[in-house]
Amino acid sequence: MHLRWICLALVFQIIGGNQLPPDVQKCRYEDEKCLLRTSNALIKRYGKTGLPELSLPPLNVLKVRNGELEGGDPNGSLWFKWILTNHWVYGTENITLSRIRGFHPDPGRSQVEIHGRAPSLRSKVHFEFLSKFLTLNVNASGEGDSDFQNFRFITKFSFSPEKEGFVKIYNLDLRIEIDRWIQDIQNLFVSNTDLTVIVNEWINKNWKEYWVDFEPQVTAEMKLEFTKRLNSIFSAIPYKDLFL
C-alpha cells in the first residue's frame, strides 16, 4: 500500500539538465548503449548525494505525497481504506536500468521505453485505517513499514513537441512487478497487540491476494505523478540540450 512514491520519475532526471558533469559521457540520440551506461553511472555516482545541476535530489530518501488506498465494497460485507501521510521511501538510489530505447532526434517520433529494477524499495508512513467487516467497524492509526522486494518496472511514453524546443510527456504507460511484499503495520489494534501480530502475519503470508486490490490504484497514482514530474523537467530543459 506504500507504493505511491515517485521514485521512478527521478530515473529520468538523471538524463536531464543543460549540462552533464564532466565525468559523465553525454550521448547521441537513440544511442541505447550510451544512454544506459550514462544513466546508470549517474545513479551510482550521485544517487546518495544528489546533483542540483541536473535537478537530481538524493535518491536514498524521498518524500512522497499523501494519498488513499481503498479495497472491498463500501456497501458489502468487507470494505477498508488506508489514509497515508508523512510518507518516505528508501532505496531508489539502488535502481539499475536494464534497457533504454527511443529519444529520436525528432521528439514527435520518439517512443521511449525504460526498464529497471531495485532489489528493495522500503517505505515508512503514518496511516489511518478504516474498515468494515460484517458488523465489525475498525478505526485505527499508527506507523507502517513496507518493503517491495525485487521491484521491477517498465515504462513507455511519447513526446508532444512544444514551443521553443521543449517537449511534453503524453500517453505514458507503466507496468510494475514485485517478488514479495513485506509489511509491519504497528498499532493497528492498540488494545489488542496479539491481534495486530496475527493481522501482520496474515498480510505477509497472503500478500498476493492483498496486492490485487491495490496494484491498479498504486500504478494509476504512479503514472500521474510520474507524468507530472517528467513534464516539470522537460518544460525547463529544451529537448536538444539533453544530447550531443
Q: Which neighbouring-strand residues pair with 118?
A: 151
- The fraction of the chain above a pLDDT of 70, given in percent, is 86
Which grid cell is 7?
Answer: 521514485
Q: So what's the pLDDT on residue 10?
A: 44
Q: So what's the pLDDT on residue 173?
A: 95
Q: So what's the pLDDT on residue 5?
A: 43
Which domains are assigned to the chain? Answer: 7-242 (3.15.10.30)
SS3 215: helix
CA 156, CA 165: separation in Å to the nearest integer? 21
Which grid cell is 165?
Answer: 524546443
Q: So what's the pLDDT on residue 14?
A: 42
pLDDT per residue as tens digits for the range 64-78: 888 888 877 777 777
Rounded average pLDDT over 10-20: 46
Q: So what's the pLDDT on residue 133?
A: 67
Instruction: Write the single-letter amino acid at 161.
Output: P
CA 166, CA 107: separation in Å to the nearest integer? 9
Rounded average pLDDT over 107-127: 92
Nearest in space to 188 (alpha carbons), one of 148, 146, 138, 145: 138
